[in-house]
Amino acid sequence: MRQNPLVHKRRGLRLLGVIVLLLPVLFLGLFFFYPLANIFRLSITAAAFYDLAQRPYFRSILWFTFWQAGLSTLLTLLAGLPAAYLFAHYDFRGRSLLKALTTIPFVMPTVVVAAAFRALLGANGPINQSLVGLFDLSRAPLQLEQTLTMILLAHVFYNVAVVVRLVGGFWANLNPRVVEAARVLGASPWRAFREITLPLLRPSLVSAALLIYLFTFTSFGVILILGGPQFSTLETEIYRQYVTFLRPDIAALLALLQIIFTFALMSVYARWQQHTAVSLDFRPQQTNLRRPQTRLEKTAVAALIAGLGLFLLSPLAALVWRSLVDRDGQFTLAYYQALPQLRRGSVIFVPPLTAVRNSIGYALLTVLLAGLLGVLTTTVLVRPSRWRNWLDPLFMLPLGASAVTLGFGYVVTFDRLRTSPLLVLIAHTLVAFPFVVRSLMPVLLGIKPSLREAAAVLGASPARVWREVDLPIMGRALLVAAVFAFTVSMGEFGATSFIVRPNSGYLTLPIAIQRYLGQPGALNFGQAMAMSTILMLVCAVGFIAIERFRYADVGEF
Amino acid sequence: MLDLHAIQKSFDDTAVLRSISLSVAAGEIVALLGPSGCGKTTLLRIIAGLETADGGEVLLDGVDVTAVPVHRRGFGMVFQDYALFPHKNVAENVVFGLRMQEWPPEKVDGRAAQVLELVGLAGFAERAIHELSGGEQQRVALARALAPAPRLLLLDEPLGALDRALRERLMLDLRAILKQAGGLVGRPEGITAVYVTHDQAEAFAIADRVVVMNAGHIEQVGRPTELYRRPATAFVARFLGMDNILPAAPLSADPPLAQTPLGPLAYTAPHPHTPTPAHPLTHSPAHLLIRPEAARLLPPGEEGENVVHGRVQDCSFRGRYQIVTVLVAGEDGEGETAVSLKLEFDSDEHLPDVGQPVQLSLDPRAIYRLE
């Protein structure tokens, strides 16, 4: 038997694989687990425990964090269910457009949503002004600034897409004959809904509720900007304890609590997903759709469409509008024209336009870095190996830790880098990384193994297989991932608010907006509106790109 | 050309292949036939280099290729789901292997046209994969595998995803294409192919030689006619759809006589040339196979060999012949041990009506012993 010359050493290939795997692991280790560990190390001080246990203030914060999330979730479900019903059952003109609209808030940065609600419902906002004009009032009738109502509204606005996508998608796939059977057997519409539809919808309802609870539990920007000093949740309190009260030990202990709660919630969610992921027969959604028939139906559908459209668009429209009119309601471009100027007494130390430029720069670099790490990670993760079982959850962990905790971990860990823009970039990359992985994984997992085998049999080396099969098929998903990374970086607020000081030349657009919103004066407010509008437009364009490139309708959040 | 030596493979401590040895001659089409889970696909994937055997060697023209990675073996493979690249059109799929082997660009297009012509898809080059029917996709997969002139072609249930009628038609086409493809791949003796299937009709129609596999070992190897005429084991006989397999205890070797539920039956001794490979694991007790054409109607009072008395249970007309099911009471006369035999008679043969007793003689030359 002759030795075959074609047998090549595979050691070089092994090594390449190890490097490919090691790079993301090292990155995560250094910039996620290490700062997290540092928080734990710091939080172990007796004084922090003592203070936290002693002062009822912290107990009320904890309590508020829980119940505001619960209330937000409940309200979102109530607001989202009619919309979910609408999309699951009716075909009407502009359906896909409206459906896309519901997702827009979801991709909006928190500062933009906060700014939009201030624009819409503020004392000088269009609603108050028209009420004043209509009823000839002396002062604004709706005093919603810095109220819980405002926070709850923003939370509902933010998360209604979750209900529409998850519950609506599920609802559309329920067999309508089941409800008809119940009706034939004598159930009233309400009875049929309560006894048939609702129990059948339960898996999706619970999924949506858990997800919304998780999101509102960790809500930071909305509460910080809309709530003002009298409302504090775990997230905002971490920020305040560190920035305002200079108590990093208490902040660390709160961050620890925060991590425990989010991971608990996430594991409940993951369990629930596993439990319900069985036997969902996805039929094409078109089959159950019909046009509204009776007059009552038509009116109801029209009202739903109008209400939903108004709810989704009015805050964003108000934002644009208020960036374009002055105090007296006259059209002006002054707020935009002032963006390149460094005003005397400005709350930031560079012209606002620099913040815009910074943000775009960070976002582009984040796309590169998060994209590279994401591609490396998914390439390893989709191939069956003994590593995969414990690597998969490892790479998803950053999704669970809040951005605030991350930013806090960075400032206590990388003291030397504090003034470096590098830290901002790394934080943005880490926040965007799970989104990239989530966009790529389903597509890569969907590639039949035989496709790679066929290429290999035809003579493609493993690297060539990746280039010829994985990469082109991944192409569109890669674009989605890139846009995700871009918009996430553009809007990132929680982590950046720790890392970048407002007096830094490297500050980002959301930080500048938050600073301007916190200051009195029409010009400050107007410029905050102008910057928010720019940010909103960038994210909206990104969102449209995602919708166009996406493969499946039901995306993973 | 291809030699497998003692190939072994286990998944999670479950043995899938137990020491398989097999030789395939140049230009030969060999079918691996067996029920699902018999290890035939695993064996094919080991030949391809997609799986690594736990033990044994794969030799190609006497050269050990066991450690050669899949992409350097220069084989062609047709997958059950075709595995066509969805992001490439027909021509791009077909030339993929040529590009990997760095064919000169000026030759690539001509080659693609040539191969597509062979499989009857001339003019399909620019089509997208999703525009093709299942049968067309199957042909593209074949064209893609043949284009780089593979030394060995591997086919994994290539017709398995098609419906029955299309499969019947493509079976004959496929054999014709494979036999013509010899010139295309520069081998006058014809292309060498290993073909995995669970369908005996497919194996018989396409292969020169059939390897029947069961539970990780080879039951029998032979030409389709050999297999059909003289199945070596009860498993092979059953798998090929044969009826009338009876457990038997040998009574004497010369003349061959065995005790069966029908009583002692004389049978034909195995032909010395019939290959009966050793398979230590399923050394089942011996069986006798009674071919359906073995029976002759015995007029009352006449003597004959292997006489059995039964009752006509069913009669089914099949054109030139009829299939008659005869229920023979067991040796002990009890209903529980009754044996029903499916037998063929000429159509013009007059048999008793259903439910009536019948007396038959079974020709020992049509009764074989199975391992």
> How far apart, in whole angstroms, are the C-alpha atoms of residue A327 and residue A318?
14
A289 with A365, same domain: the answer is: no
Domain coverage including residue A517? 13-44+329-557
Q: Collapsing DSSP states into helix, strand and coil, what is residue B8? A: strand
Report CB contact under 8 Å: B63, A469. no
Residue A217 domain flag: yes
Report CB contact under 8 Å: A458, B87. no
In degrees, rounded to 5, the angle at the alpha carbon of residue B164 between the alpha carbons of residues B83 and B47 is 40
Joined tokens for residue B263: 């009583």
pLDDT of residue A550: 61
Report CB contact under 8 Å: A459, B86. no
B169 with B64, same domain: the answer is: yes
* Residue of B4, B50, B75, B152 to mutate when probing chain A, most A C-beta within 10 A: B50
* Last residue within a domain, chosen from A292, A324, A356: A324
Q: How long, in residues, is chain A?
A: 557
Helix (H), strand (E) at residue A52: helix A46-54
DSSP for residue B268: B
- The DSSP result for B306-342, as a single string, is SEEEEEEEEEEE-SSEEEEEEEE--TT--STT-EEEE
Number of domains into which chain B is organized: 2
B83 touches chain A (CB under 8 A): yes
CB contact at 8 A, A403 and A492: yes
First to last CA, chain A: 57
* Last residue within a domain, chosen from A303, A324, A345: A324
Report CB contact under 8 Å: B154, A457. yes
**Angle between helices A388-400 and A352-382 in degrees, nearest 10:** 160
A155 with A132, same domain: the answer is: yes
Shortest CA gap A1–chain B (Å): 6
pLDDT of residue A385: 64
> How far apart, in whole angstroms, are the C-alpha atoms of residue B356 and residue B105?
77
Output phi, psi for B286, to 5 deg. -70, 155
CB contact at 8 A, A119 and A529: yes
CB contact at 8 A, A105 and A117: no
Residue of B nearest to A458 (CA): B97
CATH number of residue B318's parent domain:
2.40.50.140
Report CB contact under 8 Å: B70, A453. yes
Residue B69 domain flag: yes
Which residues, 6+ apart, have CB-to-CB distance to A295 below 8 Å?
none
Joined tokens for residue B16: 């899938």
> How far apart, in whole angstroms, are the C-alpha atoms of residue A527 and residue A512?
10
Residue A373 domain flag: yes
A310 with A406, same domain: the answer is: no
- Flag residues of chain B having pLDDT under 70: 270-285, 330-337
B81 touches chain A (CB under 8 A): yes
A317 with A337, same domain: the answer is: no
User: Which class for A138: exposed (0-12), middle (13-18), buried (19 or more C-beta within 10 A)?
Assistant: exposed
B320 with B173, same domain: the answer is: no
Shortest CA gap B276–chain A (Å): 28
Q: How long, in residues, is chain B?
A: 371
With beta carbons under 8 A apart, name residues in chain B contacting A457.
48-50, 70-71, 73, 75-77, 145, 154
Option in B57, B63, B97 nearest A459 (CB): B97
Helix (H), strand (E) at residue A81: helix A56-89
Indicate if the alpha-carbon torsion angle B70, B71, B75, B81 is positive or negative.
positive
> A468, A472, A369, A383: which is closest to A428 by C-alpha?
A369
Indicate if the alpha-carbon torsion angle A401, A404, A408, A414 is positive or negative.
positive
CB contact at 8 A, A514 and A532: no
pLDDT of residue B332: 57
> A434, A452, A444, A514: which is closest to A473 by C-alpha?
A444
Three-state SS for A210-279 is HHHHHHHHCCCHHHHHHHCCCCCCHHHHHHHHHHCCCCHHHHHHHHHHHHHHHHHHHHHHHHHHHHHCCC
Output phi, psi for B4, to 5 deg. -105, 130
CB contact at 8 A, A484 and A493: no
Give CA A531 to chain center in angstroms: 20
Output phi, psi for B271, to 5 deg. -65, 135
Residue A8 domain flag: no
CB contact at 8 A, B320 and B346: yes
User: Which residues pair with residue B357 across a beta bridge?
Assistant: B311
With beta carbons under 8 A apart, name residues in chain A contacting B85.
451, 454-455, 468-469
> How far apart, in whole angstroms, are the C-alpha atoms of residue A225 and residue A380?
41
> How far apart, in whole angstroms, are the C-alpha atoms of residue B292 and residue B295?
7
A319 with A338, same domain: the answer is: no
pLDDT of residue A14: 64
User: Which residues pair with residue B17 across a beta bridge?
Assistant: B9
CB contact at 8 A, A322 and A513: no
Residue A146 domain flag: yes
A176 with A275, same domain: the answer is: yes
B14 with B134, same domain: the answer is: yes
> How far apart, in whole angstroms, are the C-alpha atoms of residue A343 and residue A340?
9
A182 with A63, same domain: the answer is: yes
A531 with A470, same domain: the answer is: yes
Report CB contact under 8 Å: B57, A2. no
Output phi, psi for B208, to 5 deg. -80, -35
Neighbours of A1 (CB within 10 A): 10
> A485, A335, A482, A350: which is closest to A425 by C-alpha?
A485
Residue B269 domain flag: no
Report CB contact under 8 Å: A457, B75. yes
> How far apart, in whole angstroms, are the C-alpha atoms of residue B238 and residue B208?
21
B58 with B170, same domain: the answer is: yes
User: Which residues pair with residue B367 across a beta bridge?
Assistant: B290
With beta carbons under 8 A apart, name residues in chain B contacting A444.
none
Tokens 């922090």 belong to A48
Say whether the peptide bond before residue B255 is cis (omega within 30 degrees of 0): yes
First to last CA, chain B: 30
CATH number of residue A78's parent domain:
1.10.3720.10
B162 with B295, same domain: the answer is: no
CB contact at 8 A, B143 and B92: no
Q: Is A279 left (phi over 0), alpha (psi -120 to 50) or beta?
A: left
Number of domains into which chain A is organized: 2
- The DSSP result for B157-202, as a single string, is STTTTS-HHHHHHHHHHHHHHHHHHHHHTT-TT---EEEEES-HHH
Residue of B nearest to A3 (CA): B64
In degrees, rounded to 5, the angle at the alpha carbon of residue B121 between the alpha carbons of residues B117 and B125 is 95
A243 with A172, same domain: the answer is: yes
The b/e string for B312-325 (b: 16+ C-beta within 10 A; e otherwise) is bbeeeeeeebbebb
CB contact at 8 A, B242 and B255: no
Q: Collapsing DSSP states into helix, strand and coil, what is residue A14? A: helix
Output phi, psi for A103, to 5 deg. -85, -15
B346 with B208, same domain: the answer is: no
B191 with B321, same domain: the answer is: no
Residue of B nearest to A469 (CA): B85
* Last residue within a domain, chosen from A261, A293, A324: A324
> How far apart, in whole angstroms, are the C-alpha atoms of residue A447 and residue A455?
13
* Residue of A6, A457, A465, A469 to mutate when probing chain B, most B C-beta within 10 A: A457
B231 touches chain A (CB under 8 A): no
Joined tokens for residue A280: 């969902």
> How far apart, in whole angstroms, are the C-alpha atoms of residue A437 and residue A439?
5
A334 with A318, same domain: the answer is: no
pLDDT of residue B331: 58
pLDDT of residue A389: 66
> How far apart, in whole angstroms, are the C-alpha atoms of residue B47 and residue B56?
11
A127 with A243, same domain: the answer is: yes
Tokens 């919630």 belong to A265
B81 with B207, same domain: the answer is: yes
* Residue of A9, A11, A458, A464 to mutate when probing chain B, most B C-beta within 10 A: A458
> How far apart, in whole angstroms, are the C-alpha atoms of residue B219 and residue B232?
8
Report CB contact under 8 Å: B67, A453. no
> How far apart, in whole angstroms, are the C-alpha atoms of residue A193 and residue A216?
28
Residue B262 domain flag: no
Residue A51 domain flag: no
User: Which residues pair with residue A131 across a beta bridge?
Assistant: none
> B248, B242, B243: which is closest to B263 by C-alpha?
B248
> How far apart, in whole angstroms, are the C-alpha atoms of residue B210 and residue B243?
20
Residue A227 domain flag: yes
> How far apart, in whole angstroms, are the C-alpha atoms of residue B66 and residue A234?
61
pLDDT of residue A125: 82
Option in B64, B77, B100 nearest A460 (CB): B100
Residue B234 domain flag: no
Tens-binned pLDDT, residue by residue, of chain A (557 aa): 444 545 544 555 667 767 777 888 888 889 998 998 888 887 778 888 888 888 888 889 999 999 999 999 999 999 999 999 888 888 888 888 888 888 888 788 999 999 999 999 888 888 888 888 888 877 777 788 888 999 999 999 989 988 988 888 888 877 777 777 777 776 777 887 888 888 888 888 998 999 899 989 988 999 998 888 889 999 999 999 888 888 888 888 898 888 888 888 888 887 887 766 543 333 444 456 778 878 888 898 999 999 999 999 999 999 999 999 887 778 888 888 888 888 777 777 788 888 999 999 999 999 999 999 998 888 877 776 666 666 666 776 776 678 888 899 998 888 777 778 899 999 999 999 888 888 888 888 888 888 889 999 998 988 888 888 888 888 878 888 898 899 999 999 999 988 887 778 888 999 999 988 888 888 888 999 999 999 999 988 888 877 776 644 333 33
Residue A52 domain flag: no
> How far apart, in whole angstroms, are the C-alpha atoms of residue A423 and residue A427?
6
Output phi, psi for A59, to 5 deg. -65, -40
Option in A6, A451, A461 nearest B68 (CB): A6
B155 touches chain A (CB under 8 A): no
Residue of A nearest to B148 (CA): A458
Report CB contact under 8 Å: A6, B76. no
With beta carbons under 8 A apart, name residues in chain A contacting B65.
4, 6
B313 with B183, same domain: the answer is: no
Q: Is B325 left (phi over 0), alpha (psi -120 to 50) or beta?
A: beta
Residue of B nearest to A473 (CA): B87
B190 with B313, same domain: the answer is: no
Output phi, psi for B330, to 5 deg. -65, 170
CATH number of residue B32's parent domain:
3.40.50.300
Domain coverage including residue B38? 2-226
Residue B62 domain flag: yes
A320 with A348, same domain: the answer is: no
CB contact at 8 A, A102 and A161: yes
B84 with B192, same domain: the answer is: yes
